[in-house]
Structure 1
Amino acid sequence: MTDHVTCLFTLALEPQHFPAFQALVSDIVSATRQEPGTLIYEYSVNADGTQAHILERYRADAVVGHVDVTFAPFAERFLSLAKITSLVVYGQPNASVRQRLDVFGAIYMGGFDGFCRDFAV
């Protein structure tokens, strides 16, 4: 279980900005799809467009590349359209990964039992 890091972001959104946010997310997802170490990258939104979740799962060594390389060009625009209200991180991220995630107010939850089946998307 320690070779993966899973992140659950909760975002606050302004419904009138959701179309712009949705278009930006499409670009971010397209860029992220090219990362071989990104295993899950899914956005979900509530019915009124005021809250979204991002579920991300990475091979542990891929988080830094996502934050520093793939997401960085989109970060300013993303943060102008969405406010990160929480981040829960599952797994055992190393110090370098924690440094990237701490700026989002990460709460860390270390795994102690369980499994994950491999699946194709």
Structure 2
Amino acid sequence: MSSQISSVFTLALEPQDFPAFKELVAEIVAVTHQEPGTLIYEYSVNADHTVAHIFERYRADAVVSHIDITFAPFAERFLSLVKITSLTVYGKPDAEVRKRLDLFGAVYMESFGGFSRL
């Protein structure tokens, strides 16, 4: 397993749900910010508030705890406001991480060249 796992979630949402989603995201970000193994955790939205992305980068050993401990209390509210339409994962997650990410329909992309300055 590589030392870091990155992912991009693509979410579909209704524009009228964006204000509630934005408030929820603020709560999730505040809690996630306390995780030392979370290196990047950023939400972006298109102009008409119908598509959002989450760009995440974790130390590989921090993914499971983020999903199971940090995100779990928010999952029901989160999924009532958005639909996950895709998840692309970069790196070499181990079987335990894949088990969690497979629930979101993950597509795995293995790096074969390049570098990161992080």
How far apart, in 2, do the equivalents of 1:67 and 1:114 lie?
A: 28
Task: Name the count of aligned residue pairs.
Answer: 118
Q: Secondary structure at the match of 2:47?
A: coil
How far apart, in 1, do the equivalents of 2:114 and 2:96 lie?
A: 25
How far apart, in 2, do the equivalents of 1:68 and 1:113 lie?
A: 31
Partner of 2:103: 103
Q: Secondary structure at the match of 2:111?
A: coil
How far apart, in 2, do the equivalents of 1:13 and 1:47 lie?
A: 12
Per-residue deviation, residues 58-91 of structure 1 (Å, max 9, x unmatched) = 0000000000000000000000000000000000
Partner of 1:44: 44
Q: Which residues in structure 2 correspond to 1:1-121 (within 5 Å)?
A: 2-118=2-118
Give 4+ residue runs of structure 1 displaced > 4 Å after superposition.
Answer: none
Structure 2 stretches lacking a partner, 5+ long: none
CA RMSD of aligned residues (A): 0.9
Shift of 1:114: 1.2
How far apart, in 1, do the equivalents of 2:6 and 2:44 lie?
A: 16
How far apart, in 2, do the equivalents of 1:4 and 1:83 lie?
A: 26
Shift of 1:92: 0.0
Structure 1 stretches lacking a partner, 5+ long: none
Q: Secondary structure at the match of 1:35?
A: coil
Shift of 1:36: 0.2
Q: Secondary structure at the match of 1:62?
A: helix
Per-residue deviation, residues 97-120 of structure 1 (Å, max 9, x unmatched) = 0000000000000111111112xx
Q: Which amino acid aligns with 1:97?
A: V
Q: Which amino acid aligns with 1:117?
A: R
TM-score by length of 1: 0.96
Identity of aligned residues (%): 71
